Each structure stands twice: as C-alpha cells, then as structure tokens.
C-alpha cells in the first residue's frame, strides 16, 4: 500500500503544470563502496524566472523573463568513490518553450519553442554523516545546454526584426540536507540549495533591414531555494524517486529510475 501511495503521488506531481533545474535526488550517496556504479533515467520540467540584460539596439532595458519553461530527459551514470562519495555524469536532450508574455519587448513570446538540443552535466555527492537510517549529505552539480531557435520576423517596439536566437545556459546547484529512511523501502530527502544560472542570448539577423548580431547576458532571478523528495526501493538494486524544487521565482519537478550494480 505504501508503495502505491508513493508512486501515485509521484505521477500526480509530474503531471502538474509547473515547470530548469536538474534532478538532485538525495544529497547522500547511494553508492557506499568504491567501484560501485549506477545507471539512471531522468525526467525534469522547470518553470524559470531569468534576468535578461538590456539591448540598446532594440531600446530594451534589463527585464525579467517569466515562465521560461525547460524540459530535460537525461541518462545518469554514477561511480562510487568510497567513503560515502560518488561522482556522476548526465547527458540527454532538452528544449525550451518561453511562455506567452510581454517580457523583454515580447521577444520570448515571438521566439517560439527551441529545437531539441544536447544537454550535458555532472557533479558529486558526499555523505557527511550516516547512522541508524539518518544521513546528511552535500551535493554539487552543473549542466550546460545551447538552445537554438528558428529565425522569425516580428516587431520589438518600433523596430521590425528578423532574428535567429541562440541561448547558451550554464546552471549550478549546491545542496545540503538530510536523508531519512522511513523503512527498508521508503526514504525521504531534501534541504536548501543554492542556484546559479549564467548564460548568453545571441541574436543574428536584421533590425529595420540592417544586418546585425547582438548579445545579452542572462542570469538567475533567485539564488536560494529548497527541495523535497521521496524514493522507493522496487527491488534490491532498483530505486525510483520523485522530487519538487523551488526558489522564490522558479519551480521544477521530476523523477528518476536508477539501477545499482
């Protein structure tokens, strides 16, 4: 019954329309011994607030882009390093769909959705304390993606533009927090985290008929966040987990299926 409850909650969370963070899982390592490995499949959906720099060529001041939706599907490969630590690498595909709004001269609304692009990332986990089903860990991870959008013609204020955008985004998360084993099958985890986003928005095309290339800086709206999740042992070496992450302006949720060897 408890397994059914956990799985049902996870499916409800992932089907809710909140939207890029990356999936974190427990801050403690699942791989206790050196040389142990795991392979995971991950899905994560985020709804971000991103600060965008001014663009003088379009008479735009700095602005916050709301509802910047990022969807990621990745594989995760982890290697135990001994003493309760692990390193991991993830790769997969991602796409961006800025929601309809008038932020930043309505550029996000006019760009449409990006193509599916390669996303790369990695990080490490350290178990700092573990005793009688309670643990405390530290996680650090980063990811990179370069989102390409098709060229479109539209208006930005008084300017007629035909632009092909490219957004390069690097994300970093640092989390610490507890892991609590409710029983042999169910574990809860979570804690606070720091979130950093750095990127560039490059536009190539024409403004009022003149060929141009313009660049604007991107960074995160909110620095501090928190997350909570649960994982369920489906067998001796198989784990499924679900989690929700949020800062004051961004949110995300996702799930992971992991095989340990």
User: Is residue 229, in this structure, part of any structural domain at all?
Assistant: yes
Length of the chain: 261
User: Is residue 24, in this structure, part of any structural domain at all?
Assistant: no
User: Is residue 175, in this structure, part of any structural domain at all?
Assistant: yes
For 123-166, what is each residue's pLDDT tens digit?
999 999 999 999 999 999 999 999 999 889 999 989 999 999 99
For 90-111, what is each residue's pLDDT tens digit?
999 999 988 766 788 888 888 8
For 183-237, what is each residue's pLDDT tens digit?
989 999 999 999 998 999 999 999 999 999 999 999 877 789 999 999 999 988 9
Give the pLDDT confidence score for residue 12 in this predicted structure.
Answer: 37
* Domain count of the fold of the chain: 1
User: Is residue 26, in this structure, part of any structural domain at all?
Assistant: no
C-alpha distances (whole Å) from 105 to each of 10, 62, 176, 212 are 37, 10, 38, 18
- pTM comes to 0.86
User: Is residue 255, in this structure, part of any structural domain at all?
Assistant: yes
User: Is residue 23, in this structure, part of any structural domain at all?
Assistant: no
Q: Please, what is the end-to-end C-alpha distance for the chain in angstroms? A: 27
Residue predicted with more confidence, 221 or 29: 29
User: Is residue 25, in this structure, part of any structural domain at all?
Assistant: no
Residues spanned by the domain of 252 = 2-15+33-260
Looking at residue 140, which CATH number applies to its domain? 2.40.128
User: Is residue 53, in this structure, part of any structural domain at all?
Assistant: yes
């Amino acid at each position: 019954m408890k397994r059914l409850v956990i799985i049902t909650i996870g499916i409800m969370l992932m089907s809710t329309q909140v939207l890029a963070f990356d999936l974190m899982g427990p801050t403690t390592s699942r791989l206790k011994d050196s040389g142990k490995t795991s392979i995971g499949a991950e899905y994560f959906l985020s709804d971000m607030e991103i600060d965008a720099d001014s663009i003088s060529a379009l008479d735009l001041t700095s602005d916050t882009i709301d509802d910047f939706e990022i969807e990621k599907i990745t594989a995760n490969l982890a290697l135990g390093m001994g003493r309760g630590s692990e390193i991991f690498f993830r790769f997969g595909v991602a796409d961006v769909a800025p929601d309809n709004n008038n932020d930043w001269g309505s550029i996000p609304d006019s760009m449409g959705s990006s193509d599916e692009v390669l996303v790369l990332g990695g990080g490490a986990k350290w178990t700092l304390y573990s005793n009688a089903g309670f643990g405390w860990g530290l996680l650090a991870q980063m990811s990179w993606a370069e989102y390409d959008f098709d060229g479109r013609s539209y208006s930005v204020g008084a300017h007629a533009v035909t632009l092909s955008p490219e957004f390069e985004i690097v994300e970093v998360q640092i989390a610490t927090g507890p892991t609590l084993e409710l029983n042999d099958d169910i574990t809860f985890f979570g804690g606070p985290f720091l979130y950093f986003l750095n990127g560039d928005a490059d536009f190539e095309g024409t403004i009022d008929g003149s060929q141009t290339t313009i660049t604007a800086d991107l960074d995160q709206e909110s620095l501090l966040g928190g997350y909570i999740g649960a994982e369920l042992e489906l067998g001796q070496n198989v784990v499924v987990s679900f989690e929700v992450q949020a800062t004051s302006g961004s949110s995300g949720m996702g799930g992971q299926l992991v095989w340990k060897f």
